[in-house]
Structures are given as structure tokens and as C-alpha cells.
Amino acid sequence: MNTQLEKAIIIKNEPWTPEYYLLEFSAPGISQKAAPGQFVHVKIPDRRDILLRRPFSIFKAESGTLSILYKSVGRGTRHMAKLHAGQAVNLLGPLGKGFPIPDTNKKTLLVAGGYGMAALYLTAARAQTPGLLFAGGAGKKDILCAQDFTALGWDVRLATEDGSCGTHGLVTNILDAWQARNGKSSEPELFACGPMGMLKAVAQRAKEWNCTAWISLDHYMACGMGACLACVQKINRDGEERLACTCKEGPVFEAREIIWEES
């Protein structure tokens, strides 16, 4: 098994946008094994009252360093925002089954919302050929790292609900516009990470367009290793309906396997 516990040393922990922070570690063990779409389980240091680790998608992993982009939303992440360079943090990872390598015969389309951009970065960085990134959010503050994809030669298309950045509207609007123009000439392969509504919408399109979509389901997690069943998702694999632990069998699933909750 590739997963290990590692005492990672913080290199930097700094604001990235008004809401997100970049946390970069020296973590040679996990960094060299990390694959696109996997995550690390972070033990919040110096807080005996926060027992459970917190999961974060691996953003970058190179030359022994590993970084995450995280939003301060609660007890754990508020404490993380106070950590400083030189502090040690216990990481468990890399965890989960991430995104496959994009099929070079298809057009790679990444679809991201919020920290989904961070979760999809390694897929872009390790793809043989640049594709397109469609990223969206409520406003400009939700667009996290478009420049990192542009630097890799990817075609970046943005949409925000308040129109403060890119096209005014939902990210699926610009995805639909691409499909209407190009869908007949090149078959897309979709890779998505973001809010549940966006993921469902992408899965729906994959069905309509009869193409493959890889969906990262970031459910609540506790153990992160398939032991507690906190993170289960109903799936249909090989004709059999069952519950799958998203921490171990996911977080990435092929869209056709996912049995979505009625909403």
C-alpha cells in the first residue's frame, strides 16, 4: 500500500485569495507517491479537542514538497490558518483512488468549482496534451488558480454567477457552449470536482453526450481509510448495487456508476 504517515514540515502557510490559504509542506514520502485526484488527511496539530483528521485534495506535488489550497470554514481550518513555517504536521496520505490519466484520443475537459481547481491541477500538470479547463464560482474570489493552468498551456474558460470574472452564469453554461460548437468533431472526456450540484450537472451531460466523466465525490470523512463508513456512496458497479467508501474506492468514480440521491 502506498499510503503512509509522514511528519511534514510547513514551508509556508499564506493567504491565496480572500478566503483560501496555500499550505505548502516538505513531505518527500507522500509527495513522490501522490497521484492526481488523491487527498491527504491532516491531523490538526496542538488540538487534542479535534480528534478527527481533515481531508484536503493534493494541489501540487513536486520535488519533495506538497501543497493544498484550503478554505477556513470551521474549527480545524481556522486553526490551520494560524500555523506557521517550520511547524510539524502529521499527514496521512496519499489517500483514495484519484483521476485516471486522460485518454489521448479524446478532448480532455476539466470542470471545476471552488477547491475543485486545486484537485484537478495535477491531472492537467501530468496530462500528455493540454486540454480545456472550465472553472466557475459565485464570484471572482472563487476562481483559485486559473493562472497555474494557463502556465501549463491549458485553455482556461471562466464563468461566475455575479459576472465579476469570465462569462456571466454557471460553469455548465460555458461547457454547453463548447459542446454545441465542438461536440461533433471531438469526443470529450470529462473530469470534475466541485459542489454537488455542479457534479450532478456534469454527470447528466456525460449521459446526454454519451461520453465518460470522472467525478470526484468529496463526502464527509472520518477515518479516511475505509473503516468507519462515514463517507459511503451508493454505486452500481458491474450490475451490482452497493455502498462504496468514497475515501478508499473514490473519491473519483465514473459518472455512470454513481446512484445520485433524489433532491
Ligand X SMILES: Cc1cc2nc3c(=O)[nH]c(=O)nc-3n(C[C@H](O)[C@H](O)[C@H](O)COP(=O)(O)OP(=O)(O)OC[C@H]3O[C@@H](n4cnc5c(N)ncnc54)[C@H](O)[C@@H]3O)c2cc1C
| Rg of the chain over all Cα atoms, to the nearest angstrom | 18
- Write the binding mask 111 to 130 for ligand X: x where contact by CB under 6 A, - elsewhere: ----x--xx-----------
The grid coordinates listed for 238 are 458491474
73 near ligand X, rule: CB under 6 A: yes
21 near ligand X, rule: CB under 6 A: no
188 near ligand X, rule: CB under 6 A: no
74 near ligand X, rule: CB under 6 A: yes
Cβ-contact 112, 194 below 8 angstroms: yes
Three-class secondary structure assignment of the chain: CCCEEEEEEEEEEEECCCCEEEEEEECHHHHHHCCCCCEEEECCCCCCCCCCCEEEECCEEECCEEEEEEECCCHHHHHHCCCCCCCEEEEEEEECECCCCCCCCCEEEEEEECCHHHHHHHHHHHCCCCCEEEEEECCHHHCCCHHHHHHCCCEEEEEECCCCCCEECCHHHHHHHHHHHHCCCCCEEEEEECCHHHHHHHHHHHHHHCCCEEEECCCCCCCCCCCCCCCEEEEEECCEEEEEECCCCCEEEEHHHECCCCC
- Write the binding mask 112 to 151 for ligand FES: x where contact by CB under 6 A, - elsewhere: ----------------------------------------
- Write the binding mask 242 to 261 for ligand FES: x where contact by CB under 6 A, - elsewhere: ---x-x--------------
Site for ligand FES in 217-246 (CB under 6 A): 221-224, 226-231, 245
Report, in Å, the least distance between residue 218 CB and ligand FES: 11
202 near ligand FES, rule: CB under 6 A: no
Which partner from the list ligand FES, ligand X, none does 135 bind, CB cut-off 5 to 8 Å by kind? none
Q: Which is nearer to ligand FES, 194 or 224 (CB)?
A: 224
Report, in Å, the least distance between residue 248 CB and ligand FES: 6
Cis omega (within 30 of 0) for bond into 55: no
Report, in Å, the least distance between residue 216 CB and ligand FES: 14
Report, in Å, the least distance between residue 251 CB and ligand X: 5
83 near ligand FES, rule: CB under 6 A: no
Q: Which is nearer to ligand X, 109 or 144 (CB)?
A: 144
- Site size toward ligand FES (CB under 6 A) is 12
Q: Which is nearer to ligand X, 220 or 260 (CB)?
A: 220
52 near ligand FES, rule: CB under 6 A: no
43 near ligand X, rule: CB under 6 A: no
Work out the number of other CB atoms within 10 angstroms of the CB of residue 131.
20
**CB within 8 Å of 162: residues ≥ 6 apart:** 138, 139, 168
42 near ligand FES, rule: CB under 6 A: no
Contact residues for ligand FES (CB under 6 A)?
221-224, 226-231, 245, 247
